Amino acid sequence: MENNDLIKWMQKWFEQFMGRFDRLDKFMDIMSGRHNVLNGERLLDNQDLCQMLNVSKRTLQRYRSAGELTYITIHHKIFYTEKNVEKFIRDHFRDNPDEETVEKE
């Protein structure tokens, strides 16, 4: 093997090696629960959503029971898709919370 061939072979080997590390890193992210993803869409659990909306777990339960917040269950754990959470926020949280309390003169 000439020097150039050896360098090309080593570069190709190194790229394959790093590609395997990248796949392993993604797999470990998924398995560790750091990034829950379903069909390419990020999933939020109760804790994530409680912190995001500043509500209790019981409040989330009320939203689910009333059919206001769509959820999925995976292995007895509740998740919310990012898309459904965004829709819930648009539908249930106003830009101006004092809008109804303003009296007309």
Domain ranges, ordered by start, for the chain: 1-35, 36-94
Q: Name the band, by pLDDT with cuts 50, 70 and 90, for residue 20.
A: confident
Q: What is the per-residue pLDDT across 46-71, written as a single tens digit (0 to 9) for each?
A: 988 998 888 999 999 999 999 999 99
Q: Does domain 36-94 correspond to CATH entry 1.10.10?
A: no
DSSP assignment letter at 99? G
Indicate the pTM of the whole model: 0.56
Pick from 49, 82, 36, 12: nearest CA to 58: 49
Please classify residue 42 by burial: count the beta carbons closer than 10 Å to its beta carbon, then call 0-12 exposed, 13-18 middle and 19+ buried.
middle
Mean pLDDT, residues 31-45 taken together: 72
Q: Measured between alpha carbons, how far is 80 from 73 in angstroms, rounded to an integer? A: 9
Q: Name the band, by pLDDT with cuts 50, 70 and 90, for residue 29.
A: low
